[in-house]
Amino acid sequence: MQSQHTMINHVELLQEAEAYIRQFGSELAIEEQATEARIVEITAEIAATGTYTHTLEELAYGAKLAWRNSNRCIGRLFWDSLNVQDAREATAAADVARAVFRHIEYATGRGKILPSITVFAPCTDVDSPRIRIWNEQLIRYAGYSQDDGSILGDPISLPFTQTCMEMGWRGAGTAFDVLPLVIQIGSQPPEWFDIPTDIVLEVPLTHPDFPNFEELQLKWYAVPFVSNMRLEIGGLHYTAAPFNGWYMGTEIGARNLADPFRYNMLPAVGAIMGLDTSREMTLWRDRALVELNIAVLHSYKAQGVTIVDHHTASKQFSLFTEKEQRSGRKPTGRWSWLIPPLSPATTATFHNRYEDTELKPNYFVQKAPYES
């Protein structure tokens, strides 16, 4: 006999599944009979097993819709071209790691970045995931607290770096140590894997007009692979579903390298530019910020690594909202995330308003497993 609790969960799951299968059917112009038959099939599967399995098409389209519904993302014009890899059969941590490495390599495309997602086995209860990737991004730099109180590397990575070191990992001790991949299967202890250095593409930063910029010895990794979000499609929770697009320059130049609580490089950039940093009035921060962003765009471009500037990205986003309206949908968005952190009012996005409605399928933030 099934408990009442289990039965309520089954009802909810079926409702979510049905809503998604109907959306899938209507957007892809699938015959109504086929959709109804699929719902009957899913109903039976849930009754018998407590869950159901997406077809490859349902999975792929769900991942794309989740991107289309990501209100914080300015790059959604390309939602329909997402490359979806099905890795639901991976069960052991080493299998997951192998699929992740494959993802890093093909999505990096030697610089010609391919927006991609690799989807691992889902669960029906968010609180008992079958697979979790502990990293926030597949590739990120470690952060270390030093004896003199200063921080080496990326301060945002302090807690995760600490966790990795407690598990026995040791970095080289540079400001740009790539953290290991940490995988957890069910409630087993997590396992860590070094990411092969030959699949990690990085871009050393130079400036087209300031030759001494390279003395700063800055670099950044080519591809942002977000790995801590839960993909929800039709009531199924894909708790491990790392995905990537390409960078918008400001993410690196106006945040990662510039924020006072990240690499905090504006004073150093101002110094090599010979700016008067003694008074705010000189706007040395703003001038350093612009040149740092020019260096980022210039270096990625020069190395043949896909990147987009914020003006182009904003135009692409306007195109996305127009296309959505033409398809009879109301585009949703979160204004505070969609405006770029550099010269926001020069982009159309700044002068628009968006409704921040959360639609499903979508990607949801999950709590870091190493933070209590």
Contacting residue, 17, 248, 265, 266, with ligand ARG by CB under 6 A: 248
CB 137 within 8 A of CB 224: yes
Instruction: Please tell me which residue in 38, 58, 68, 76 is annotated as part of the active site.
Output: 76
Q: Is 246 a known active-site residue? A: yes
Select from 24-32, 44-52, 229-237, 246-254 the region that touches ligand ARG (CB under 6 A).
246-254
CB 161 within 8 A of CB 143: yes
Question: Closest separation between CB of residue 136 and ligand ARG, Å?
Answer: 9
Select from 127-135, 192-200, 242-250, 298-306 the region that touches ligand ARG (CB under 6 A).
242-250
Residue 297 amino acid letter: L
- Identity of the residue, 137 or 163, whose beta carbon is nearer to ligand ARG in the bound complex: 137
177-186: b or e for each residue (b if 16 or more CB lie within 10 Å)? bbbbbbbbbe
- DSSP 8-class letter at 137: B
Window 124 to 153, contacts with ligand ARG (CB under 6 A)? 137
CB 305 within 8 A of CB 203: yes
Measured between alpha carbons, how far is 215 from 272 in angstroms, rounded to an integer? 9
- Identity of the residue, 25 or 341, whose beta carbon is nearer to ligand ARG in the bound complex: 341
| Cis geometry, peptide bond prior to residue 242 (ω within 30 degrees of 0) | no
- Identity of the residue, 114 or 226, whose beta carbon is nearer to ligand ARG in the bound complex: 226
Question: Closest separation between CB of residue 223 and ligand ARG, Å?
Answer: 9
Window 190 to 229, contacts with ligand ARG (CB under 6 A)? 224, 226
- Identity of the residue, 95 or 251, whose beta carbon is nearer to ligand ARG in the bound complex: 251
- DSSP 8-class letter at 26: H
Question: Closest separation between CB of residue 247 and ligand ARG, Å?
Answer: 5
- Identity of the residue, 200 or 226, whose beta carbon is nearer to ligand ARG in the bound complex: 226
Instruction: Please tell me which residue in 79, 246, 284, 291 is annotated as part of the active site.
Output: 246
- Identity of the residue, 24 or 220, whose beta carbon is nearer to ligand ARG in the bound complex: 220
Is residue 316 within a helix (H) or strand (E), and if so which, with residue range?
Answer: helix 310-326
Whether the CA torsion 135, 139, 145, 146 is positive or negative: it is: positive
Contacting residue, 122, 153, 245, 331, with ligand ARG by CB under 6 A: 245
Examine residue 271 and tell whether it contacts ligand ARG (CB under 6 A).
no
Instruction: Please tell me which residue in 38, 68, 73, 230 is annotated as part of the active site.
Output: 73
Q: Look at phi and psi of residue 137 and say left if phi exceeds 0, alpha if psi is from -120 to 50, else beta.
A: beta
State whether residue 8 is helix, strand or coil: helix
- Identity of the residue, 275 or 296, whose beta carbon is nearer to ligand ARG in the bound complex: 296
State whether residue 348 is helix, strand or coil: helix
Question: How many angstroms separate the Cα of 193 from the Cα of each of 19, 75, 85?
Answer: 39, 31, 21
Q: Is 79 a known active-site residue? A: no
Examine residue 247 and tell whether it contacts ligand ARG (CB under 6 A).
yes
In the shown chain, the binding pattern of residues 3 to 42 toward ligand ARG, with x for contact by CB under 6 A and - for none, equals ----------------------------------------
- DSSP 8-class letter at 253: I
Question: Closest separation between CB of residue 78 and ligand ARG, Å?
Answer: 11
Examine residue 122 and tell whether it contacts ligand ARG (CB under 6 A).
no
Contacting residue, 256, 299, 321, 362, with ligand ARG by CB under 6 A: 256
Q: How many CB atoms lie within 10 A of CB 146?
A: 10
Q: Is 251 a known active-site residue? A: yes
Is residue 39 within a helix (H) or strand (E), and if so which, with residue range?
Answer: helix 32-49
Looking only at the bridges linking them, the beta strands covering 243-244 and 83-86 are unpaired
Burial of 166 (0-12, 13-18, 19+ CB in 10 A): exposed
Q: Is 76 a known active-site residue? A: yes
Measured between alpha carbons, how far is 301 from 304 in angstroms, rounded to an integer? 5
State whether residue 368 is helix, strand or coil: coil
Select from 24-32, 76-84, 193-201, 247-255 the region that touches ligand ARG (CB under 6 A).
247-255
The residues binding ligand ARG (CB under 6 A) are 137, 224, 226, 245, 247-248, 251, 256
> Which of the residues are catalytic?
73, 76, 246, 251
